[in-house]
Amino acid sequence: MSDINIQPEDQAVFDRLKSDGRITHRLRRMMTQQWNTCVSCGRNTPQGRPVFAGYDENKKELLVGACCSDRLAHLATPVYWTGTLNLSAPDSSKVWRYMDFTKFVAMLMQQGLYFTTAENFSDPFEGAIGLADRETIWDNYYLDFFRQAVTTAPPGYTPPKLSDQEVEAEAHRLLKSIKATSTHVRKSLVNCWHENDDESEVLWQLYSPPSETGLAIQSTVGNLWEAASNSDQAIVGRVHYLDFRKRYASIQSERIFCKRQSLSHEREIRIVLQNDRNEPSNGQVLKCELRNLIDGIVISPFAPSWFVDVLNSTIAKFGFEFDIRPSSINDEPFF
């Protein structure tokens, strides 16, 4: 957590506009894909400074720095670049979802994507901040940070007079409250994809090993954003693989996009939805137009030969038509 560094030109935006927190799907997409770049002039916002997410006078989404803030008519939210992760992946980037036949049939039936709560995945590090034996170092860092935060005030304000005991109590309360958000992060609803220009033999082995009737759906990051447009809070983002022996995941809820280095072969792009805080569910279908989502289907190189007909007739029964092709893993060599 580095310091927020508001300059007079940023303050002028806050004086002119009050943020209303209204973030449409298109604005969230822009906030993720542009990260810290002003869409108007292409300038990158320095650490600690805000970029402003909102709408122009024609209600068109806008993400601008103070540099181009005159275009902004409504402010949805400021975003501060204090160590946030860059989750963006190009819209044109190819993504794959390897699955067995039953999951594919379920997808056709449900006409949408199935999201699983992160805590139900086999990786115990989903939503984790770091390694257990490095927890004390992390705690102490944030306790120090909070001690400072509760005893300093922004310019123009008098810092509150607190006894040492009160400072300690408040710092510990704040630490507890940020750690409590982990429960919610682990309830996030997640749908996973693999980013790759081509097929991956390793993933075939993992997700549809020999003799299983598996397939891979091919799509793009842009399609995933479109598929998630039924949800205002969906984020499509590239997973960051971290060496937890050396660092911690993000303190913010975006750490749902952080995984262990040992899983980096997954090259994951995930769609994340927030789970209802009051009635969290274990899974959820997000309806989408499968025709637009699926660019093609590749049949597992290990599937038996009769599978092609079954797949074709199943797709036809549900009224779809997809471009189906065999896996290139089965291409013949010459010597």
Q: Which residues bind Zn ion (CB under 5 A)?
A: 38, 40-41, 43, 65, 67-68
Whether the CB-CB separation of 235 and 32 falls below 8 Å is answered with yes
Residue 142, burial from CB neighbour count under 10 angstroms (0-12, 13-18, 19+): middle
Minimum separation from the CB atom of position 50 to Zn ion (A): 13
CB-wise, 45 or 300, nearer to Zn ion? 45
Minimum separation from the CB atom of position 47 to Zn ion (A): 17
CB-wise, 43 or 184, nearer to Zn ion? 43
Cα angle value 112/115/119 (rounded, 5°): 175
Euclidean distance between CA atoms 118 and 265, whole angstroms: 19
CB-wise, 70 or 144, nearer to Zn ion? 70
> Which 8-state DSSP code applies to residue 47?
T
Minimum separation from the CB atom of position 150 to Zn ion (A): 35
CB-wise, 6 or 234, nearer to Zn ion? 6
Which H helix or E strand runs over 184? helix 164-186
188 backbone dihedrals φ, ψ, rounded to 5°: -55, 145
CB-wise, 65 or 237, nearer to Zn ion? 65
Task: Tell me, letter by letter, the H, E, C secondary structure of 214-244.
Answer: EEEEEEEHHHHHHHHHHCCCCEEEECEEECC
Minimum separation from the CB atom of position 53 to Zn ion (A): 13
Residue 224 identity (one-letter amino acid)? L
CB-wise, 41 or 106, nearer to Zn ion? 41
Minimum separation from the CB atom of position 19 to Zn ion (A): 18
Residue 330, burial from CB neighbour count under 10 angstroms (0-12, 13-18, 19+): exposed
Minimum separation from the CB atom of position 207 to Zn ion (A): 43
